[in-house]
Amino acid sequence: MSKLFATCPKGLEYLLRDELRALGAEDAREALAGVHFSGSLELAYRACLWSRLASRVLMPLAEFDAADADALYAGTQSVDWPAHLSPDGTLAIDAVGQTGALNNTQFVALRTKDAIVDQFREQGGTRPGVDVERPSIRLNVRLHRGRATLSLDLSGSPLHRRGWRQGQGEAPLKENLACAMLLRAGWPAIAAAGGALVDPMCGSGTLLIEGILMAADVAPGLRRDYFGFLGWRGHDAAMWDSLRAEAEARASAGLRALAPVFFGSDQDPRVLNEAKRNAQAAGVAGFLHLSRQSAEHVQRPEGDNPPGLVICNPPYGERLGQQAQLAVLYRALGERLRTQFVGWQAGVIVAHEELGYAIGLRADKRYTLYNGALECRFLVFDLAEEPAPRERVEKPLSEGARSVANRITKNFRHLRKRFEREGVSCWRVYDADIPEYAAAIDIYTAIGVDGNFVSLEPFPHIWLHVQEYAPPRDIPEHVARDRLRDLVRGAGAALDVPRERIATKTRYRAKGGSKYGRFEQRDEFLIVEEGGLKFRVNLFDYLDSGLFLDHRPARARIRELARGKRFLNLFCYTATASVYAAAGAASATTSVDLSATYLEWAARNFTLNGFGGASHHLVQADAMEWLRHDRDEFDLIFVDPPTFSNSKRADDFDVQRDHARLLALCAERLAPGGVIVFSNNLRRFALDPVLPDTFDVKDVTAATIPPDFARNARIHHCYELRRRTER
């Protein structure tokens, strides 16, 4: 039994795990961009021959400490290389990762090669050569946390290279990604039932050819004439010949039984010719019907066949056209799917949610896949005939719901015109105005989507974020629950917002006090505008939306102060203040937060607004610890810490107890003439009396409370601090 590792593109790990288990790898377990498993040499050969999803199959030969070049050399020489490679053979070495002093993969590969070659010289004088294309053996060196794993690459070249590709279009799809799409769309079951496969934007035919091979039980590696084990001295040629003969027999039987129910079309005659050549090279041209036409004219194949699958990889917008132009194509595709393919399944991969929305169909399943480095969404649609809509009878609003609706209507009319003039599209419309209906309601006007979902609503449109306050202890839970229901109904009626666009954060009583209930995992990100800038918000999956609405004036103040300044944002959350600073022409921004999730969110906020490059840094670290060790100076520092934090990765933090120490550390990083903007949300916060000894302190709280939060003047506290020695 040998330990093995199969690599794959991100997003395919669970599919690959299931595939390897089906091949006999009972202990297969997923990892990042791959699957660990163990088994015999026969299982390793089967994985190379039959895996439709793997990129490479690696067999570790040695693992050892490799803090520096000498340790790497010694560890490599500990392997008996003549047992694996003939002296007159060739080798190639791929290196990935880094550790200690080894941070150059080319040097790592060269040093590994030297160790192998020197061992052969010492033993007999004849040394193997180097062949980067088709070596006798290919080795993989992975460096991680001071250790090296040296593996034999049994695949030799990436397994997605099946051996049939003669040409490709402008936006090629790798064969293993095509297979992942087919599997996610349920193609094996559809094919087994006799359903057809249609690709209305087939390009060079990748999806269709892989679909035929899958349906006919043809091993994806059957047409390859090179594997990394063929020149390996441990190769069992008889076993390999037996496995190939078995695969040949299965392919022959599968192709004999296959019906020609595969249809591809494209409006580009050049790529259609490439698709024909590829199909011929794959030995499946006789099963494939190709025609020149645009996706807007795709039709269901004639005949009384079982429901099939429509699948395609349309243009993304980066290289083949602009999103606005492509939206017309996507809408036309959605219309054809809706009218021509009732009862079928459909799968479409998109790189932008706006284009997915343009299809006009609600996806039943959504998967994150990567086409190279590009993160995409694979949308699967069940095109079952929609039943006639039942007439919906709305229950009349209760007296309490009417009271809430009236109050929200009054607030909305009072603030709307002002905010429209100021370009404010996200604001608080209700804040426990009626004490019995204790919740805050925020309006978010979405201009688009950016996440793993497709919205069927035209943009812009309003969403509501309802956050319930803890009810008094003498209020029974069922009464509080009924009041919240009336509140939500009243808000929806007042603002004409359907229930599916209202996010509610409800409280429940638990040991230790009132807590919010479990959040959803919808991955629904909206794009909103504030101050002429765009931000991602998520109303369902987190306690906060990603945009603190009460900090709107503070962010505007930061933009005014930031011109030409080095800006630091501590406890940055989604870095909205940093985006404002960048928009205000800050010379550089640094944003620090302990959460990788929020930093990824922050990076997307920067990208949405066209900011990037070396002048904008995102740092994953505990803010207090980072301040103790960083030595850079900043002209403008924004500090908005949590009220309390007990993260396992950092020391406990209490803003009342620790703010003086935090601000003292900030003062050490503050450049002469610099300003600290310090904000927090502790209702009963009191500034430490020692701070005026160090700072000139200006309380700007009143100026930073927006009018929609005027009912709650303690929503936050905000101060501007300058060092006293610099008056």
**What is the 3-state secondary structure of 398-466?**
CHHHHHHHHHHHHHHHHHHHHHHHHCECEEEEEECCCCCCCEEEEEEEEEEECCCCCCCCCCCEEEEEE
Kindly state whether residues 181 and 317 are assigned to the same domain: yes
Burial 378-394 (b: 16+ CB within 10 A, else e): bbbbebeeeeeeeeeee
Kindly state whether residues 375 and 403 are assigned to the same domain: no
Kindly state whether residues 212 and 328 are assigned to the same domain: yes
Q: To which residue do tokens 């503070």 refer?
A: 554
pLDDT > 90: what percent of the chain? 78
| Whole-number pLDDT of residue 374 | 87
Residue 434 class from Cβ within 10 Å (0-12 exposed, 13-18 middle, 19+ buried)? Answer: middle
Kindly state whether residues 492 and 577 are assigned to the same domain: no
Kindly state whether residues 590 and 713 are assigned to the same domain: yes
Residue 481: its H or E element? helix 477-495
What six digits make up the tokens of 667? 């003062």
Total number of domains constituting the chain: 4
Q: In Å, what is the CA distance from 77 to each residue of 64, 111, 113?
A: 11, 11, 10
Looking at 382, 417, 445, which one is the last position of a domain?
A: 382
For residue 713, the SS3 value is coil
Q: In Å, what is the CA distance from 503 to each residue of 166, 405, 680?
A: 51, 17, 25
Give 143's strand partners: 97, 148
Residue 509: its H or E element? strand 507-510
**What mean pLDDT do residues 419-425 have?**
91
Give 440's strand partners: 431, 467
| Whole-number pLDDT of residue 467 | 94
Kindly state whether residues 333 and 404 are assigned to the same domain: no
pLDDT at 211 over 80: yes
pLDDT, tens digit (0-9, with 9 covering 90-100), for 524-580: 889 999 999 999 999 988 889 999 999 999 999 999 999 999 999 999 999 999 999
pLDDT at 188 over 60: yes
Looking at 153, 183, 207, which one is the last position of a domain?
A: 153
Query: Does residue 236 lie within any of the structural domains?
Result: no
What six digits make up the tokens of 317? 């917008």
**What mean pLDDT do residues 32-49 have?**
96
Provide φ and ψ at 122, rounded to 5°.
-65, -30
| Whole-number pLDDT of residue 193 | 95
Query: Does residue 165 lie within any of the structural domains?
Result: no
Q: In Å, what is the CA distance from 658 to each residue of 288, 648, 664, 696, 722?
A: 70, 18, 10, 19, 19
Kindly state whether residues 568 and 434 are assigned to the same domain: no
C-alpha 220/C-alpha 509 separation (Å) is 57
Q: Give residue 498's region: left, alpha or beta (phi > 0; psi -120 to 50).
A: beta
C-alpha 348/C-alpha 295 separation (Å) is 13
Query: Does residue 239 lie within any of the structural domains?
Result: no
Q: Of the ranges 137-146, 321-330, 335-344, 675-684, which one carries the lowest mean pLDDT score?
A: 321-330
pLDDT at 168 over 60: no
| Whole-number pLDDT of residue 519 | 57
Provide φ and ψ at 212, rounded to 5°.
-65, -50
**What mean pLDDT do residues 382-390 have?**
65
Residue 553 class from Cβ within 10 Å (0-12 exposed, 13-18 middle, 19+ buried)? Answer: middle
148 touches 98 (CB < 8 A): no
Under 8 Å CB-to-CB from 343, ≥6 apart: which residues? Answer: 307, 383, 384, 385
| Whole-number pLDDT of residue 668 | 94
pTM of the model: 0.59
CATH number of the domain that 64 lies in? Answer: 3.30.2130.30
Sign of CA dihedral 143, 149, 152, 155: negative
C-alpha 229/C-alpha 235 separation (Å) is 6
Q: To which residue do tokens 């020692």 refer?
A: 690
**What mean pLDDT do residues 699-725 have?**
93
Segments in 518-650 forming alpha helices (H): 552-561, 576-583, 596-608, 623-629
Query: Does residue 679 lie within any of the structural domains?
Result: yes
C-alpha 111/C-alpha 605 separation (Å) is 42
C-alpha 190/C-alpha 196 separation (Å) is 8
| Whole-number pLDDT of residue 520 | 58
Q: State the pLDDT confidence band at 649, using cuts at 50, 70 and 90.
A: low
| Whole-number pLDDT of residue 358 | 84
CATH number of the domain that 409 lies in? Answer: 3.30.750.80
pLDDT, tens digit (0-9, with 9 covering 90-100), for 72-122: 999 999 999 999 999 999 999 999 998 888 999 999 999 999 999 999 999
pLDDT at 667 over 80: yes
For residue 95, the SS3 value is strand
Kindly state whether residues 342 and 443 are assigned to the same domain: no
Kindly state whether residues 199 and 306 are assigned to the same domain: yes
Query: Does residue 264 lie within any of the structural domains?
Result: yes
C-alpha 146/C-alpha 65 separation (Å) is 6
Under 8 Å CB-to-CB from 76, ≥6 apart: which residues? Answer: 62, 111, 112, 115, 116, 150
Half-sphere exposure of 531 (CA within 13 A, CB side): 22
C-alpha 54/C-alpha 9 separation (Å) is 8
Beta strands in 100-251 (DSSP E): 129-130, 137-144, 147-153, 197-199
314 touches 350 (CB < 8 A): yes
Query: Does residue 162 lie within any of the structural domains?
Result: no
pLDDT > 70: what percent of the chain? 92
Give 370's strand partners: 375
Query: Does residue 242 lie within any of the structural domains?
Result: no
135 touches 103 (CB < 8 A): no
Q: In Å, what is the CA distance from 655 to each residue of 347, 352, 679, 705?
A: 50, 40, 10, 20
Kindly state whether residues 209 and 354 are assigned to the same domain: yes
Query: Does residue 553 lie within any of the structural domains?
Result: yes
Beta strands in 229-315 (DSSP E): 262-266, 288-292, 309-312
CATH number of the domain that 568 lies in? Answer: 3.40.50.150
pLDDT, tens digit (0-9, with 9 covering 90-100), for 318-336: 543 355 568 788 989 999 9
239 touches 41 (CB < 8 A): yes
Expressed as residue numbers, the domain containing 94 is 2-153
Kindly state whether residues 416 and 271 are assigned to the same domain: no
Half-sphere exposure of 11 (CA within 13 A, CB side): 22
Looking at 357, 382, 407, which one is the last position of a domain?
A: 382
pLDDT at 446 over 90: yes
For residue 212, the SS3 value is helix
Q: Of the ranges 375-389, 591-605, 688-702, which one carries the lowest mean pLDDT score?
A: 375-389
Max mean pLDDT among 41-50, 330-339, 479-488 falls in: 41-50
Q: State the pLDDT confidence band at 697, using cuts at 50, 70 and 90.
A: very high
Kindly state whether residues 205 and 102 are assigned to the same domain: no
| Whole-number pLDDT of residue 512 | 46
Give 264's strand partners: 199, 290
C-alpha 25/C-alpha 17 separation (Å) is 9
